[in-house]
Amino acid sequence: MASQQDLEFTYSTIDQIFRLSVGPTGDYSGAMYNGNFALTLEQAQRQKHRFIAESLGITKGSRVLDMGCGWGPFLTYIKEKGAIGRGVTLSSAQAAACRENGLEVEVKDCRQITPADYGTFDAVTCIGGMEHFCSIEEYRAGRQDEIYAEFFRKVADLLPVGGRYYMQTMVFGKNMIPLEEISLKAPKGSPAYALALMIAQFPGSWLPYGYEQVVRNAKPYFKLISKSSGRLDYIETIGQWRKRFRAFHLKKYALYASLLPRIMTKKEFRDLVAVFRVSPNRVCFQQETMDHFRLVFEKV
């Protein structure tokens, strides 16, 4: 699993920049355009929230656990609907920002939650968290299936029979290459190079192999209700994020400047400079080494 330190690197480093660019409770996961790119990013994110809430039957009074809640976009949406949400994240900056916005959020590993922590829930979500559940080392040790199976066992304990769980996650796609070929020394623009940059941006994280690996590991506890690919929608989402990240804001540009000394001295940050020039995830989606799936499950 990506450690807390890895996730502080990925999310807390950009905390203020993200909130100034995308909004104080902005989504940091693929939006749902359903191919209609005339929608704004905000409309497409709201469409995603509506889809999740409807798929899970979330209404006034529903108790909902949002695993990997980020800056709290889905918790904010369901709060407006009168549901009772609780979130966890491994980024302390995200948790602090959520609490400032009146959300019930703690720094906690969602994979370890049991009913003894917060009781049980009517619905559970994990919107872009599974990407971080298995590290490269765990993948190399052949532990990926075991990690996902254990995760689903724990989620099932938090729900009644018939209770629903929504997740969306990046997965490796049909053109994925062997891990050994991935390298920052590979030709720029190649899948091997784009995947190496992706690893630099998200240390400690290795993706599931297709939605099939996810569904297979969920099967003892959950049946699949619906599935859709969000790959093209994610390409659009990333394009919109990049416009917002570039948009001028004095404080934000000062924050970019404050990262420079770290970029000069730390290798991981130097690799990230390339991420500002090219979005590795977007290239991976375009090259179909990566795909993205939205999955609705029901506990059996």
- Sites of contact with ligand SAM (CB under 6 A): 1-2, 7, 11, 27-29, 68-70, 73, 88-91, 94, 109-111, 127-129, 132
Q: Give the shortest CB-250-to-ligand SAM separation in angstroms.
A: 25
- Residue 243 beta carbon to ligand SAM: minimum distance, rounded to whole angstroms: 18
Q: Name which of 157 and 177 has its Cβ closer to ligand SAM.
A: 157
Q: Would you say 89 or 144 has its CB closer to ligand SAM? A: 89
Indicate the residue among 192 and 293 with the shorter CB distance to ligand SAM. Answer: 293
Tell the smallest beta-carbon distance from residue 133 to ligand SAM (Å). 6
Q: Which is nearer to ligand SAM, 1 or 41 (CB)?
A: 1
Give min distance, CB of 188 to ligand SAM, in A.
25
Q: What minimum distance in Å lies between the beta carbon of 299 and ligand SAM?
A: 20
Cross-strand pairs, 64: 85, 123
Residue 169 or residue 289: which is nearer to ligand SAM going by CB?
A: 169
